[in-house]
Amino acid sequence: MRPTIRLLAGLTCALAVAANADTFYVNGSCGDDAWTGTSSVCSAPDGPKLTIQAGIDASVNGDTVMVADGVYMGVGNKNLDFGGRLITLRSEDGPAACIIDCENAGRGSYFHNGETADAVLDGFAIRNGFDVRVGGAILCESVSPTILNCVLVNNRASEGGGLYSSDGNPT
């Protein structure tokens, strides 16, 4: 009887965490990083964030950051850092419609703060990433994030122009 009770208690806790997950929105056309990001409707105070990093920074473990279609460039839209958060960063309509352009001055994403398979990057084209050492588009150091439905185009580095992983196991 006791093992069943423990199993149900664990299941209840897992469901409670999932039920509290939020979605944050990013829209490079009409967002504002001062807004909360809790709505996809472009109006204050709860409209979408302007930059992808601001959406990531607003999130906590279990949340989803949904990025509207568009080309994202400049500060806050490259060298993206999950900061150890176990979140899903997802594009609205996939890599053909949502592009991170690193402008040959940085990489798309840098995972290095203990991210596990529950840190998910899904549905982006990452182009024109550059680093003189490693990981032109994506760098993973001692982490194991999940990377899905991404297209890496024209990224350069001495090693791992597309993706470089050291002491980790990204999927």
pTM of the model: 0.88
- Residue 4 has a pLDDT of 38
For tokens 């580095």, the residue is 157
| The two three-digit tokens of residue 3, written as one number | 């093992």
pLDDT at 62: 98
Instruction: Please list the pLDDT of the chain residue by residue as tens digits (171 residues).
Output: 433 334 334 444 444 445 578 999 999 999 999 999 999 999 999 999 999 999 999 999 999 999 999 999 999 999 999 999 999 999 999 999 999 999 999 999 999 999 999 999 999 999 999 999 999 999 999 999 999 999 999 999 999 999 999 999 999
Looking at residue 16, its pLDDT comes to: 44
Instruction: Output the CA torsion 142→146→147→149 (10° steps).
Output: 170
- DSSP letters for 26-64: E-TTT--TTS----SSS-TTT--BSSHHHHHHH--TT-E
